[in-house]
Structure 1
């Protein structure tokens, strides 16, 4: 097989072949869901074809947005990367990701995240591990029980409540870093339809306003191995958090295990017996800039941080990012401008990703070989990491 592949967007009549390629890679059900072989808004599907026109690999650019300190940043989140067994190790994935990044850049994306099955190929293409999506188990019986608060109303939610659910999620997510906005066509199917995206939805209201919710899937059985999976649980007050935890505790007789993903430092976590949790699953996620100027200018920055630093950036897949830059941060804003002077700090795109997402300090990035200081204090680049640590809660 020739090592040269051509990357382009897939046509509708090629989607079945792309599904089968992914099915073989990920062990999916032989019968594709309807959306897998039909045109879908909110994403771009790419294919890599060899010189004979055969599909050798595929990848999907999800047109997400991510919250970064109060601002929605356009993202090209990557999913469904698969390469035919006979074509692996021949640069197909690199060609796919290069084409995807160029297309994402052309449509205005600023950043990109993905969940890898293996990290090495993505690191070679500029992504790096920025965090871990942790799924934990708690003994339901260990949850504290509280008497119902008289000023709160607890009730089952319906599809008519989903706009309020989305609004509460946005209120809690927007001031953090990395969380998806859950806006747009890809989320309309789950949060804008006539059915719930969960088995059940529990709401906590105060004076008719939503103060907390839990979306859960019941699972099967009621014996010792029964699990209640909480797909998402959020509260904007301590009282609402206590109420939701008490509702979840009430499942102890039929679902001994509670399974959920927690948002670091949120109201729910503050009322859970975290000493009793057990790790169920850890899924690392990776990040990289699509366009460094957009990534810096589009996000929010801490209002108390001021400073500037110059550095040289190298990005082999996205050459528009390569160059010498001056980063200036002040008054909750930041910008990158090109400069012609030499810079003592030489940063790889992986190092940029780690700093931007708050996953490392300049010194730790330098220790990892992703930043060369050349006699300059690497700590100056901590300015790029001043936005705090990012987190993802949505698997894609």
Structure 2
């Protein structure tokens, strides 16, 4: 199989392959994919594996900084991975993803994230489950009772507001110390804000995007972020005005999203989790860029084994202080090393407890301080 970097014509040639993998792609949906693919095409981030002159596998790598304790870490978001049905089961997917892993590293990303359709392939190359996208079903009537502060200015947003929208979202994630959300950037938001089927609202310190769902029988909140209680109430109250039309609002939320404490009545909620997987590509860069819990100071010895990315392999000294960290070559004097492979490192970075990792064989050794160092509840608010 020959793997090629795609241009616009090559991307168009993958439409049938993508339809086989993800379902029918009507002209309007395909046109939107083409519009959104501009930055990946220009950056040489769309790939396909060819056999006998036709594509049998394809994938793309987004440049999407990911927030970790309020600091952005360079991340390669892998999406659109599909292998033709007739090419499955003979190593085509592994060959493609090995190339994608190498390309992510060459682009200089410290991390990579993907949503798996199947887990074993990605685990074999060092990705591991680290966080989730949470989709909650909320009674629209409960949201109708949220009272908005009339002093909060909320207005419709369009493509010309892309820079402000991107900056407001960044500010919310940074100041809240979020772990897991991604940064689409101004160029992508300019495209998203032009979608007339999605309603966008902007406040000084918050943003809302929602649309009709299930044949107009529900509302779907794609994104709602706010830095203050007043703006949070204003945006959710706006969504709640749809309670006379629909019984349920579905929303992408954080695990401890403020909306769960905002409504007066809360007995139970329906929450669906879609898991995403993380891969540490450059261990020192990933630690240096990441934020850490304030007030935690620690040192630990790590022994990393990463056959796919041998630059990560070896003995390391982890030092964390004042919300920042560094990973240096060498042993931490007097401290027994904790041993992890690529999967264990990814899960540890994502805040999975060391007791869980030991129980599943992804970590060996005992260093309880690592639970405090990497403490996180990572979540996503977007698919890609």
Scaled by the length of structure 1, what TM-score is found? 0.84
Separation in structure 2 between the aligned mates of residue 21 and residue 182 of structure 1, nearest angstrom: 26
Aligned pair 1:199/2:190, yes or no?
no
Point out the structure with the larger helix share. Answer: 2
Separation in structure 1 between the aligned mates of residue 163 and residue 270 of structure 2, nearest angstrom: 33
Partner of 1:207: none
Partner of 2:362: 370
- Structure 1 window deviating more from structure 2 (166-175 vs 251-260): it is 166-175
- Structure 1 window deviating more from structure 2 (80-89 vs 161-170): it is 161-170
Task: Judge conservation of contact 1:233–1:268 (CA < 8 Å) in 2.
Answer: no
- Structure 1 window deviating more from structure 2 (297-306 vs 38-47): it is 38-47
Partner of 2:371: 382
Bigger Rg over Cα: 1
Q: Are residues 37 and 215 of structure 1, via their aligned partners in 2, closer, same or farther at CA, if it must alter by over 3 Å?
A: closer
Match of 1:242 among 226, 233, 254: 233
Task: Judge conservation of contact 1:19–1:36 (CA < 8 Å) in 2.
Answer: no
Separation in structure 1 between the aligned mates of residue 355 and residue 268 of structure 2, nearest angstrom: 34
Number of paired residues? Answer: 374
1:134 positional shift:
1.7
Aligned pair 1:261/2:260, yes or no?
no
Q: 1:252-304 CA deviation, whole Å, 9 max, x = no partner?
A: 2112211111123344333134434223x431111111111111111222342
Match of 2:209 among 198, 211, 215: 215
Separation in structure 2 between the aligned mates of residue 383 and residue 277 of structure 1, nearest angstrom: 30
Task: Judge conservation of contact 1:8–1:99 (CA < 8 Å) in 2.
Answer: no
Partner of 2:48: 47
- Structure 1 window deviating more from structure 2 (290-299 vs 15-24): it is 15-24
Give the root-mean-square deviation of aligned CA atoms: 2.8
Q: Which runs of 5+ in 2 are unaligned?
A: none
Task: Judge conservation of contact 1:156–1:201 (CA < 8 Å) in 2.
Answer: yes
Q: Which runs of 5+ in 1 are unaligned?
A: 205-209
Scaled by the length of structure 2, what TM-score is found? 0.87
Partner of 2:98: 98
Partner of 1:33: 30
1:368 positional shift:
0.9
Separation in structure 2 between the aligned mates of residue 244 and residue 13 of structure 1, nearest angstrom: 42
Aligned pair 1:328/2:319, yes or no?
yes
1:160 positional shift:
4.5
Aligned pair 1:251/2:226, yes or no?
no
